[in-house]
């Protein structure tokens, strides 16, 4: 057994006896640290002599293999524990892991939908509402149209008050997080769908009052968002849209992404979504980056000149 392996064995024994680490935790530490020590050995570096640059080289190689930031962070944690042990035992006079930066976790891009998929989804809802104009079909058409037209959160959508039907229809007042209100415009198709649904609901309820636009027998008194999400997936399946990629929140993302892709200002989208902080809206900047790239490629004089030369 070489010296590094002996140190690792002592470390694992300490973790087991003094820290009471679980078997799975010990196995994880052993696997991660053996991989790091093998990397150092291949570089001709002993564990007792390794420095920050050696570990940076290891993590650069580890990341290049496609391991996620979460996996890198776990290995860095194991490495730090190991070198704290070596320092505490007097085996090292320093801790070379103290200056290492934790891997940055990239913020995942929001799932969205193509314009074609949204068009198919809305088209399917409208076709079903026309073929069988029952309250459920008209409600689904109104829900889809309103959601894509406004980008509301699903909780805001299903809890809209019935008083919405009494307004002129061009705008909605939405009560969002923190009880803050915002005004969102409606598309013509959303207005038409909402009016059809409202007329049918009033006819079927016989004038029976409900404070909610989408009433239900649920505890809240309005349509549960889980029911809408379930029905939305069913509609997606009938429309030929991939069911696994569909949710009310994905339609909200589609609303924002499609607006930005067609030239909307980021601040305006922030207001429409009801984000209190612009940094929340900036998850959509990848859409802006793509649009700006296309803008330069298609309209910059030098880009046009390069195309002519090609």
Known catalytic residue at 258: no
Q: Which two tokens stand for residue 175?
A: 């009560």
Domain ranges in the chain are: 3-88, 115-295
Q: Which two tokens stand for residue 9?
A: 């064995």
Known catalytic residue at 284: yes
Exactly one of 80, 84, 238, 249 is catalytic; name it.
249
Known catalytic residue at 286: no
Main-chain dihedrals φ then ψ at residue 254, nearest 5 degrees? -60, -40
- The CATH code belonging to domain 3-88 is 1.10.150.130
Known catalytic residue at 84: no
Exactly one of 75, 252, 253, 258 is catalytic; name it.
252
Known catalytic residue at 275: yes
- Chain centroid to Cα 64, Å, comes to 24
Per-residue pLDDT at 276? 83
Exactly one of 177, 188, 230, 307 is catalytic; name it.
177
On whether the CB atoms of residues 166 and 172 are closer than 8 A, the answer is no
Per-residue pLDDT at 285? 67
Known catalytic residue at 249: yes
Options 3.40.50.720, 1.10.443.10, 2.30.40.10, 1.10.3720.10; CATH of 115-295: 1.10.443.10
Alpha-carbon distance of 271 to 185, in angstroms, equals 11
Alpha-carbon distance of 47 to 54, in angstroms, equals 10
Nearest in space to 78 (alpha carbons), one of 111, 53, 100, 105: 100
Exactly one of 139, 153, 200, 225 is catalytic; name it.
153
User: How do the pLDDT tens digits run along the chain, 310 residues long?
Assistant: 456 888 999 999 999 998 888 888 999 999 999 999 999 999 999 989 999 999 999 998 988 888 888 888 899 999 999 999 999 999 999 999 988 888 776 555 567 788 999 999 999 999 999 999 899 999 999 999 999 999 999 999 999 999 888 876 788 889 888 788 999 999 999 999 999 999 998 888 775 678 999 999 999 999 999 999 999 999 999 999 999 889 999 999 999 989 988 888 888 989 999 988 877 777 776 655 555 555 556 655 655 555 555 5
Q: What is the DSSP letter of 7?
A: H
On whether the CB atoms of residues 164 and 201 are closer than 8 A, the answer is no
Listed in sequence order, the residues at least 6 apart from 176 whose beta carbon sits closer than 8 Å to its beta carbon are 153, 156, 182, 274
Exactly one of 74, 233, 275, 291 is catalytic; name it.
275
């Amino acid at each position: 057994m070489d010296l590094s392996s002996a140190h690792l064995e002592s470390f694992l024994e300490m973790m087991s006896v003094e820290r009471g680490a679980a078997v799975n935790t010990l196995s994880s530490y052993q696997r991660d640290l053996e991989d790091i020590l093998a990397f150092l050995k291949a570089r001709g570096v002993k564990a007792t002599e390794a420095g920050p640059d050696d570990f940076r080289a290891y993590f650069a190689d580890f990341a290049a293999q496609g391991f996620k930031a979460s996996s890198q962070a776990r290995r860095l944690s194991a490495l730090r524990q190991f070198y704290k042990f070596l320092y505490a035992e007097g085996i090292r006079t320093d801790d070379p892991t103290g200056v290492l930066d934790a891997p940055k976790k990239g913020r995942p891009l929001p799932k969205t939908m193509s314009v074609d998929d949204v068009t198919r989804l809305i088209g399917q809802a409208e076709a079903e509402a026309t073929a069988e104009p029952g309250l459920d079909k008209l409600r689904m058409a109104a829900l889809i149209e309103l959601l894509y037209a406004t980008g509301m959160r699903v909780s805001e959508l299903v809890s809209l008050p019935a008083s919405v039907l009494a307004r002129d229809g061009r705008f909605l007042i939405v009560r969002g997080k923190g009880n803050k209100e915002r005004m969102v415009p409606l598309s013509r198709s959303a207005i038409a769908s909402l009016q059809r649904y409202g007329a049918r609901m009033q006819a079927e309820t016989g004038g029976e009052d409900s404070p909610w636009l989408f009433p239900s027998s649920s505890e809240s008194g309005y349509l549960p968002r889980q029911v809408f999400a379930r029905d939305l997936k069913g509609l997606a399946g009938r429309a030929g849209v991939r069911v696994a990629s569909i949710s009310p929140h994905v339609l909200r993302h589609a609303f924002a992404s499609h607006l930005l892709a067609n030239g909307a200002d980021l601040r305006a989208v922030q207001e429409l979504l009801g984000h209190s902080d612009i940094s929340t809206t900036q998850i959509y900047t990848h859409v802006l980056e793509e649009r700006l790239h296309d803008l330069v490629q298609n309209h910059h004089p030098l880009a046009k000149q390069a195309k002519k030369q090609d």
